[in-house]
Amino acid sequence: MQREGEDAEMKTVLFDLDGTISDSKEGITKCAQYALRHFGIEEPDPDKLEFFIGPPLRYTFQKYYGMDEKTAEAATEKYRERYHTTGIYECRMYEGVPELLRSLKEQGYQIGLASSKPEESCRIILEHFGIAEYFDEVVGATMDGRIDSKKEVLQEALRRLEIADVSQAVLVGDTHFDVEGAAEVGMSCIGITYGFGTREELEKSGAAEVLDSPLELKKYFEK
């Protein structure tokens, strides 16, 4: 994947956000509790709400709580009511991420973000962490649901970055949603275990590699 010489074709690394760059469990689970409480559902244990991390909110409310489309939309709006004011900042950046991004830039990689989180929220979080400067493009979901799934987010990222040959790009993500979304657009995915997915989950989904830390990722791309 390394770029060799000035005439070499630019290579691209796309990153998931939650569980890959940011440990966002606190903010996401608290916002999920807030939204569920509005519908009379109490879940005091945040560990039991980790399935909210990664996939689109509408999907999660429908799959795990049997909500119809209209109710899931209302639950998503209630979630965002707290998230946009408070939950968005209840997160921390994983150790070693800035060094990883800096190393990729120094080697000439193009870097993009591809998240199922709303795009505006993605940009705010990257600015909050002070790493927005490393990203050539930031792509997230649209508030109206037009772009929502990982596949749709990746298709938009590839379009904006003008990547015609998907073999020249790779996604880094922490769950099977990332691996499967990448496969749907013909990309490979490097799974990471320091987020919210497991090695078994990532390997079973078909991740090209499974690594355990940002430092391992840094060394992988320096090959």
- 113 and 209 share a domain? yes
| Whole-number pLDDT of residue 4 | 40
Ordered alpha helix ranges (H), 39-68:
57-65
Domain around 62: 25-89
- 159 and 177 share a domain? yes
- 117 and 180 share a domain? yes
Percent of the chain with pLDDT over 90: 90
Give the tens place of pLDDT for each residue, 40-95: 999 999 999 999 998 889 999 999 999 999 999 999 999 999 999 999 999 999 99
Mean per-residue pLDDT over the chain, rounded: 93
Q: Which residue has the tokens 């998931």?
A: 16
Q: Which residue has the tokens 């987020």?
A: 195
Query: How far apart (Å, rounded) are the C-alpha atoms in residues 158 and 12?
Result: 10
Q: What's the full length of the chain, in residues?
A: 223
Q: Are 69 and 58 in contact (CB under 8 A)?
A: yes
Backbone angles phi, psi at 217, to 5 degrees: -65, -45
Q: What is the CATH number of the domain that holds 60?
A: 1.10.150.240
Q: Would you say residue 26 has pLDDT above 80? A: yes
Query: How far apart (Å, rounded) are the C-alpha atoms in residues 30 and 50?
Result: 11
Q: How many domains does the chain have?
A: 2
Q: Is residue 6 part of a domain?
A: no
- 80 and 18 share a domain? no
Q: Is residue 1 part of a domain?
A: no
3-state secondary structure of 41: coil
Confidence of residue 223 (pLDDT cuts 50, 70, 90): confident
Query: How far apart (Å, rounded) are the C-alpha atoms in residues 57 and 103?
Result: 33
Q: Are 136 and 30 in contact (CB under 8 A)?
A: no
Query: How far apart (Å, rounded) are the C-alpha atoms in residues 28 and 92?
Result: 12
- 190 and 160 share a domain? yes
Active site residue 16: yes
Which of 16, 23, 148, 174 is labelled catalytic?
A: 16
| Whole-number pLDDT of residue 56 | 87
Give the tens place of pLDDT for each residue, 119-169: 999 999 999 999 999 999 999 999 888 898 999 999 999 999 999 999 999
- 85 and 104 share a domain? no
Tokens (6 digits) for 215: 């430092």
Task: Select from 73, 89, 105 the last residue of a domain.
Answer: 89
Find the helix or strand (DSSP H, E) in which 109 lies. none
